[in-house]
Amino acid sequence: MLQKSLSIGLVQQKDYGSREQNLENCIQGVREACGRGARLILLQELHNSRYFCQHEDPELFDLAEPVPGPTTEQLAVLAAELEVVIVASLFERRAAGLYHNTAVVLESDGTLAGIYRKKHIPDDPGFYEKFYFAPGDGPFSPIQTSIGRLGVLICWDQWFPEAARLMALSGAEILLYPTAIGWDPGDGAAEQQRQFDAWQTVQRGHAIANGLPLVACNRTGFETDPSGVTSGIQFWGGSFICGPQGEMLAQAKQNETQVVLAKIDLQHSEKVRRIWPFLRDRRIDSYAPLLQLFNDPQNS
């Protein structure tokens, strides 16, 4: 059983040009969040580097590292020193020619509580992730920690209700998403607002549909496309924490590095699920078509 309340921190950062500087700024952000009372701290997707997936370059595989490895070792020492749980995001080298976009959970005693390898891998202009990452082959399984069972997912996973649902059905008590998403600078203001609203709304919907608090940590700042093919990405920040009814508890600004905190009531999910018993009323006898990629009308 979770404790009654939990303070959660988000560390929203931009790219500072090197692994060492990026990680140092993340560490300082963790220290700030801890100093303000956070016991669970989430970092953004691929926080050690720029978002390198804007173009395809085999030499960029050199950015990857094993898990456990150098970054997990540094963050493990930090987690044990501060007695906090840290959720970090790394480019993992699992084996020669096998790489993943991986979230790691460091327990408050410095041990590696578990990992999650991103399952939904995009392949779009400026987001060429299929070139770099194999999809995770593990289940949608929460990671047990001293502060509860964490349903950790990553970025593109955030658009898929199935992923959040399966985490909830497996006993997740909080949903967490490290992410890296932003605008094409060529899009107009109205289109940019639609995209941001959709990103936030779909995740708040996951919180509501599953009766769980949700935490999303995005990166911020403009990053160029080194290939020059696209006009780069303006990462929109906007990291946020919401409750199990989608209520906004805290939100970072869009264009600033920022450490944001919120305290969540860990008993509220129980109350919400009693009045909105979505899990009780699921018609699992009717959901078999979900296992098809698409239900072609002519075959119905």
Query: Contact, 10 vs 260, CB < 8 A?
Result: yes
Close Cβ partners of 226 (under 8 Å, ≥ 6 residues apart): 54, 55, 57
255-291: burial string, b at 16+ Cβ within 10 Å, e else? eebbbbbbebebebbeebbeeeeeeeeeeeeeeeeee
Can you state the angle between helices 189-210 and 161-169, rounded to 10 degrees? 20
* pLDDT computed for residue 295 by the predictor: 87
31-50: burial string, b at 16+ Cβ within 10 Å, e else? bbbbeeebbbbbbbbbbbbb
Residues in a beta bridge with 117:
102
45 among known catalytic residues: yes
CA distance 12 to 44: 6
Number of residues in the chain: 300
Close Cβ partners of 287 (under 8 Å, ≥ 6 residues apart): none
CA distance 2 to 77: 24
Q: Which of 118, 129, 217, 242 is catalytic?
A: 118
CA 15 to chain CA centroid, Å, is 17
Q: Helices (DSSP H) in the chain: which residue ranges?
A: 19-35, 70-82, 161-169, 189-210, 268-275
Q: Which of 155, 217, 223, 242 is catalytic?
A: 155
DSSP, collapsed to helix, strand or coil, labels residue 122 as: coil
* Residue showing tokens 């002519």: 298
Q: Which of 14, 34, 45, 107 is catalytic?
A: 45
Nearest 5 degrees, angle CA 186-CA 60-CA 222?
30
Exposure on the CB side of residue 156, measured as CA atoms within 13 A:
17
Walk me through the domains of the chain, giving residue ranges and CATH numbers: 5-293 (3.60.110.10)
Q: Spell out the per-residue pLDDT of the chain, length 300, in tens.
A: 446 899 999 999 999 999 999 999 999 999 999 999 999 999 999 999 999 999 999 999 999 999 999 999 999 999 999 999 999 999 999 999 999 999 999 999 999 999 999 999 999 999 999 999 999 999 999 999 999 999 999 999 999 999 999 999 999 999 999 999 999 999 999 999 999 999 999 999 999 999 999 999 999 999 999 999 889 999 999 999 999 999 999 999 999 999 999 999 999 999 999 999 999 999 999 999 999 999 888 766
155 among known catalytic residues: yes
